[in-house]
Amino acid sequence: VAIVGAADVVSPNGVLKKTIPALHAQVVKEALDDAGLRPSDVDALFTAGSTPMASLELAEYLGMRPRYTDTTMTGGSSFEMHVEHAASALAFGLCDVAVVTFAQTPRAPGAVGPGQRRRDWDPTWPSPLIEWELPYGLRLPVGAYALAASRHSSEFGTRPEDLAEIAVSTRAWAEKNPRARYREPLTVGEVLASPYVCEPLHKLDCCLVTDGAGAIVLSRADRAMHLKKPPAFVLGVGSCHTHAMISAMPNLTVTPGVVSGPKAFGMAGIEPPDVDVLEAYDSFTITVLLALEDLGFCAKGEGGSFVRGGRLGPDGELPTNTNGGGLSYTHPGMYGMFLLVEAVRQVRGEAGPRQVKDVDIAVAHGCGGVLSATSTIVLGSRATV
């Protein structure tokens, strides 16, 4: 199975003055054009986030009658999960051409969170979140990630400077991406001087809030070989989720990435040193640090020292979030689609000024909820199959 088409839409000021369905139509069309396929070729639809029956409404709007459908909703990692599920469905012959699509406009007037309806926050409707977390003034999602950063810091001595390094390296990549929201150089001092949101996380430890959309197209490898562009082969997939609320997370320094990462790497037959480019969900700087440890790029607790000296940046040994990430490129509530689109571009060698040399293995690692659900996708170039 391979990803054969990819497209995304962002805006320099973060605002796209289009409706969510219009953005879906645009990115699906662009991703199909990228693959050299037509809308009538699509027989499987994967999406999450817009509405509860998202694929029914979207397929109708797009004029599709899918014979395979999936609206798995795990927050930011939804689209990595969709790749995993699409790969199984394609391998089983349940469909031939799968489209995974995402669009969200949190900057639009009256927007609510991904997958939310207004009554999800109705205080008269008891739920574990409403009964056991919100009365204590938790700010979601940032407060949950701040709790994880607090625990990591106390267990392992991770410093605010270490987390800031991640924002700085990511910004250095964004400087090379003309489509990124923020492109001015950033220093550790500037991250630490930005206002606290939820200590120990500063404003510049946090992702953007932008409009955005993206889509990818998958097919089996035999067909992929005869399409318009070089395929990005799906070499390994893995997913896991451990909790929904941060107070129910078993250990705040260990994410489900310890399961999804080794599953995906094992299936692909790779080890962390084989990874040429890492696209790791950066809702917050701590999200990346935990992913580096849980995927095995460094030992548990050593993420802080690992990221020092620009190791994740353009001149570093582990190029990470090469489009500028959720921290500096775009982040429309759920960022997982953009991890995949950038990984595909890096494998194909079409990332322009930010292209990493000789990319054979790219990893997209999604993380959704409050460190709740991870999904890891290993993509490979032609040389890897």
Looking at 12-20, 140-148, 234-242, 263-271, which segment touches another protein (CB under 8 A)?
A: 140-148
Q: How far is the CB of 253 from another protein (least distance, A)?
A: 9
CA distance 378 to 261: 9
Q: Is 134 in the site for another protein (CB under 8 A)?
A: yes
Q: Is 151 in the site for another protein (CB under 8 A)?
A: yes
Binders in 174-203 for another protein, by CB under 8 A: 195-201
**Considering CB under 8 A, how many residues would be counted as binding another protein?**
37
Instruction: Map tokens 């353009």 to a residue.
Output: 314
Q: Is 133 in the site for another protein (CB under 8 A)?
A: yes
Pick one of 38, 139, 226, 228: the residue that binds another protein (CB under 8 A). 139
Q: Which helix (H) or strand (E) holds 86?
A: helix 78-91
Q: Is 117 in the site for another protein (CB under 8 A)?
A: no
Under 8 Å between Cβ of 282 and 205: no
Q: Is 98 in the site for another protein (CB under 8 A)?
A: no
Instruction: Map tokens 């953009």 to a residue.
Output: 338
CA distance 276 to 378: 11
Under 8 Å between Cβ of 11 and 36: no
Q: Is 157 helix (H, G, I), strand (E, B) or coil?
A: coil
Q: Is 209 in the site for another protein (CB under 8 A)?
A: no
Pick one of 118, 124, 184, 358: the residue that binds another protein (CB under 8 A). 124
Q: How far is the CB of 101 from another protein (least distance, A)?
A: 28
Under 8 Å between Cβ of 295 and 363: yes
Q: Is 126 in the site for another protein (CB under 8 A)?
A: yes
Q: Is 135 in the site for another protein (CB under 8 A)?
A: yes
Give the count of beta carbons closer than 10 Å to the beta carbon of residue 88: 12
Pick one of 69, 72, 150, 194: the residue that binds another protein (CB under 8 A). 150
Looking at 102-110, 122-130, 181-189, 333-341, which segment touches another protein (CB under 8 A)?
A: 122-130
Q: Is 166 helix (H, G, I), strand (E, B) or coil?
A: helix
* Residues 6 or more apart in contact with residue 248 via CB below 8 angstroms: 128
Q: How far is the CB of 122 from another protein (least distance, A)?
A: 9
Residue 198 corresponds to which tokens in the numbers above?
Answer: 């939820």
CA distance 215 to 51: 17
- Where does this chain bind another protein (CB under 8 A)? 121, 123-126, 128, 130-140, 142-143, 146-151, 154, 195-201, 246-248, 252
